[in-house]
Structure 1
Amino acid sequence: MSRRDIVIVLWATCLLSFARVRADEAQTRRDVVTNTPGLVAFWDFQKRESEGERRFTAHVPQGSATDYPLDASNYVRDYWGEGREATYSDFPLLNDGPFGQAIRIRDETDPSFRPFLLVPRSRIHDTPLDIKGQDKSVTVVVWAIRESGNHALAGIWHEGTDLKSAATTGKLKVERGQRQYALFAGLNKPGSACGHVSENGASSFLNKYALHKCNSLPVAPAVSAELPANELATSWQCFAMTLDHNNDELTGWLNGVSGDRWLEHLEADSLISYARNAYMQGYFHRVDGKQADEDESFPADQYYNPPEKEPVSVEVLRQSKGERVEMREYRYTKVKVTLRENVDGAYSEVGRDLIALRLNPWWYPHGIYSPKDAESGGPFTIGRVYSQCTQRWFYRVDWRSSGV
């Protein structure tokens, strides 16, 4: 899963189950992590400031200018001026987990209270944690027990509060999206390891949301917090994402397994249908003459056309005199291609339709969004992300984390 050119932001060892960990075992695992080449930051919820607020701090390479202490905050209070302040007491310590300690992120019932842990933008801008720009790779790994939910685990992912909707009414601060990279517990595929990246901080393919994301094929089950301790101890899952800029691939991993996930019936999907349109518009643009369904105003930087040099497989769906229809599978796409016979007997393509897109790995040919300054970028957060939405259903999160 790791590659030499990928920076490791968050890490946890990948054991599938264990009993309550001994102190020496936890330290052995911690040493493995902190000695990993490319490590940027590792929060084990054991290391803390020695005085003052005694906030959680990260293990960082020797010589690092900061160890990224985590603040507690309530994003509804930050942006709507509602709800109480968050404190460390809102993140109960569990005295368990693969590194000997863990915190719980709860599914809060009060719609004005959405607590998370964060490193403010002012303390991460231009540090090694602020991974951005062209030719950048990143790995994010979180150990967690998923009790419910499908949303944020950790990353730099400010979804923006500038989208017009009922949820944004009355907000005090209006900011555009400042997305860079983040790991989620599934999003559209709850329980999967979902890696998310953005090249512009904002939206994709003319949809209002960012849509460059992957979903591991394996899915973590929802586990009741009421299970006996020995059963909870075998329920830890290793969620991970890798962005490999050398291969332009974004991949989700659960317990070290990525899996091969495809999405068919693209037009029926409320979000990925926009990626399908981006593919088709790029195709129409390359064909001579204006095509019937071509939108000439579609921005060229939002075309989505993964490489299709050599097919993995070709199936002839039907053939008649002078015409053949093939299903071609490429690494990231499955397309139905119509060919017609020329006067010389050769066949030429006269049309195509995108039938399926590969969600894991997801083709991503861009860099990572680079905020212009410390005032315009988003923070690094754990447990939730800044969002336009305060509704409970949007942030149904309930999980335990050890080793972020």
Structure 2
Amino acid sequence: MADVLVIGAGVAGMKASLLLASAGRQVHLVESSSVIGGRLIRCEDIFPTMECATCMVSPMQQEVLRNDLINVITLGEILSIEGSIGDFRVRIRKQASCVDPVACIGCAECWNACQVEISNSFEENLSSRKAISVPCAGALPNVPWIDREHCLRWNGDENCSLCADACVFAAVDYSEVDSEFDITVSDLILSTGYQPSPGEVFEKFQWGISPGVFTASEFERYYSSNGPTSGELVTKNGLKPASTAIIVHADGTGSHSNINTMYSLKFLHYLHEKLPDIRPVVFLDASYSPLALEDRNHSKWLTAEADVILYTQMPRVQTTGDNKTLSITCSTADGSFQAEADLLLLGTSMLPSEGTSRFIELLGLQCSDEGFIQKPEPAFSSVSTSVPGIFTAGCAGGPQDIASSVIEAAAAVGRVLADANRGGK
């Protein structure tokens, strides 16, 4: 049987790889970052069951890394894809990590020695990292990589060797270079994920001005035990919220997604767990939020834990002179509502990832109005694309929750195996 290429090692990509391997197929799993797990590894809990995210994803990561039929390529970039179903020819570049994964034991001595500190995008730029690092505690593979864009050795000080000197196992190898190679596969599964709305679109809500304003992604990292505050819920200037916490479903794009609404409701649990004395106020768009709340697993979060305001016009937010207290006003069906708070949480949209946008262009795929990979009409299945032999899984085809992403991964694998059984490869 021919090999299969899976692009993106989030929960959908990992699940697809494991299912393909269990069917005896050789899998090449390409991930652009240095670790596998996708955005799930940035979460503390999974909504609505509030299951420990690490408890779910870590066994899957370990299984992927230990499977002989899964070739995991981190720091990987797809340079070109040619051919058609049954015979896709793919060229891949693997960026050098400059760290030997066999010799490294993940002791952290190398990044403790590094003197370069830069903003950590994994932590939503809420903390810094070193020029050699792993994204967070518990990341897998637990092997650091050298960011040559910021490392002194590649930026004017070629004699710097602090990280190598600190490693007693001689795992740091400055001589390693990027490599390029070709593979041939029968099918491609695109599990390129999503990216959240950037904070800059929320400036009208005082994001970037008031230390009490967080996007959903930022607040998730603050709550996480492996995040920048080790799970302590404080404002960005280190103060503990003392009055009211406001949650606004304000995705920044104007799109209406029930998944995004549910993500906002997840924060009710977080607030109840760590700030039980604060009464949350939830602002939801009256035009569609009631539909999202019909699910019995979701509506329970709004019964006793919060006041709910259904707005008819997007809330307006202002700050006091010290930028610490927030005043929020909105129009409702009954008139208007106003409240003050020192913590404001903004529910954000799922937008197409950079990888999704790139592969739409590279492969000539149809694109939806929102920028995700468009299913052909009429769609043979929910994972089909406009190119035979190329399938989607998870958020590459649109906003999905974790359960739906796993289901789509299985569906994509089913399509790959069905094509093989028909003798097409």
Judge same fold: TM > 0.5, yes or no. no
Structure richer in helix, relative to its length: 2
For normalisation by structure 2, the TM-score amounts to 0.23
For normalisation by structure 1, the TM-score amounts to 0.24
